[in-house]
């Protein structure tokens, strides 16, 4: 199955600042997905990132707050902008495995905003 | 869009007993239904999945059943072991037209008592 390297694994940030999370996949994939998992909750899709086009955002998420880059078929970044304590969460990237083995997740980024 | 409901939210079983978790989905176009296991502090791991052209799939102690007419699917774990204790998530995907994105259920905390 695809292997995803996600970093940073965790960070503590000051409110009002921004954090960029990176995901690198060991194979080429058409779409990459970014999820948020708040403490004790399920996974909520933030956006879908296609290479060469703008990301598609889910209801409740906007590009100004969560800008995404997708410069090639193996890499994507998610930025959490102008952070507030409510942004404290785990952020995960995911890809549909090109071998057909379902969807694989990165190890997640645990973000704490103080 | 798709909506996935999952029950129960918590489930306690005695070691060796069976556990069943049920999910319903709303979009009849959904055609892929994975189950994920998430241990504390770790990424979700795919444990089994089923596609809409199959009614049942089994992998050792784990099985998934799908009823397309009723739009529900279930995870069955037999001979439960303490290491099965985790949070389990069901999900549904509507395929390429919707960007292959997964919509997750709220999760079930499974506790296996030894």
Which tens digit of pLDDT belongs to each residue from B57-75? 999 999 999 999 999 999 9
Residue B69 CA, chain-centre distance (Å), reads 18
Mutate to test the interface with A, among B42, B43, B100 (most CBs of A within 10 A): B43
Q: Is the pLDDT of residue A98 over 90?
A: no
Mutate to test the interface with B, among A5, A31, A40, A42 (most CBs of B within 10 A): A42
The pLDDT value given to residue B91 = 97
Length of chain B: 114
Mean pLDDT, rounded, for A20-36: 95
Joined together, the tokens standing for residue B108 give 């079930």
Distance CA(A82)–CA(B35), nearest Å, equals 34
Q: Could B102 and A45 be called an inter-chain contact, meaning their C-beta atoms sit closer than 8 Å? A: yes
Chain A to chain B Cβ contacts (< 8 Å): 41
The pLDDT value given to residue B99 = 56
Residues in Cβ contact with B68 at an 8 Å cutoff, skipping those fewer than 6 apart: B28, B52
Joined together, the tokens standing for residue A42 give 């399920």
Residue with tokens 């791991």: B45
Rounded mean pLDDT of chain A?
94
Q: Could B99 and A41 be called an inter-chain contact, meaning their C-beta atoms sit closer than 8 Å? A: no
**Å from A105 to nearest chain B CA?**
6
Mutate to test the interface with A, among B47, B99, B107 (most CBs of A within 10 A): B99
Distance CA(A80)–CA(A59), nearest Å, equals 16
CB proximity A28 to B under 8 Å: no
Q: Could A104 and B105 be called an inter-chain contact, meaning their C-beta atoms sit closer than 8 Å? A: no
The pLDDT value given to residue B65 = 97
Name residues of chain B where pLDDT drops below 50.
98
Residue, of A52 and B90, whose pLDDT is higher: B90
Minimum Cα–Cα distance from B32: chain A residue: A102
Grade residue A84 by pLDDT with cuts at 50, 70 and 90: very high
The pLDDT value given to residue B96 = 54
Mean pLDDT, rounded, for A55-74: 95
Identify which of B99, B102, B107 has the shortest CB distance to residue A103: B102
Q: Could B101 and A104 be called an inter-chain contact, meaning their C-beta atoms sit closer than 8 Å? A: no
Say if CB A95 and CB A25 are below 8 A apart.
yes
Residues in Cβ contact with B51 at an 8 Å cutoff, skipping those fewer than 6 apart: B31, B32, B33
Grade residue A52 by pLDDT with cuts at 50, 70 and 90: confident
The pLDDT value given to residue B98 = 47
């Amino acid at each position: 199955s695809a292997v995803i390297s996600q970093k940073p694994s965790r960070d503590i940030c000051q409110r009002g600042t921004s954090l960029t999370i990176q995901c690198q996949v060991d194979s080429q994939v058409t779409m990459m997905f970014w999820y948020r998992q708040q403490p004790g909750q399920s996974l909520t899709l933030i956006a879908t990132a296609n290479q060469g086009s703008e990301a598609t955002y889910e209801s409740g998420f906007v590009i100004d707050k969560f800008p995404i880059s997708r410069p090639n078929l193996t890499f994507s970044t998610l930025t959490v902008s102008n952070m507030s304590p409510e942004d404290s969460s785990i952020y995960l990237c995911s890809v549909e495995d090109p071998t057909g083995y379902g969807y694989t997740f990165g190890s997640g980024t645990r973000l704490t905003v103080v | 869009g798709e909506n996935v409901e999952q029950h129960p939210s918590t489930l306690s079983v005695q070691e060796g007993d069976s556990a069943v978790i049920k999910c319903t989905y709303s979009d009849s176009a959904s055609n892929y239904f994975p189950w994920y296991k998430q241990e504390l502090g770790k990424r979700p791991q795919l444990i089994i999945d089923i596609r809409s052209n199959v009614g049942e799939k089994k992998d050792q102690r784990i099985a998934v059943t799908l009823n397309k007419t009723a739009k529900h699917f279930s995870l069955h774990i037999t001979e439960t072991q303490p290491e099965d204790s985790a949070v389990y998530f069901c999900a549904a995907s509507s395929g390429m037209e919707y960007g292959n994105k997964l919509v997750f259920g709220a999760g079930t905390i499974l506790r296996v008592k030894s």
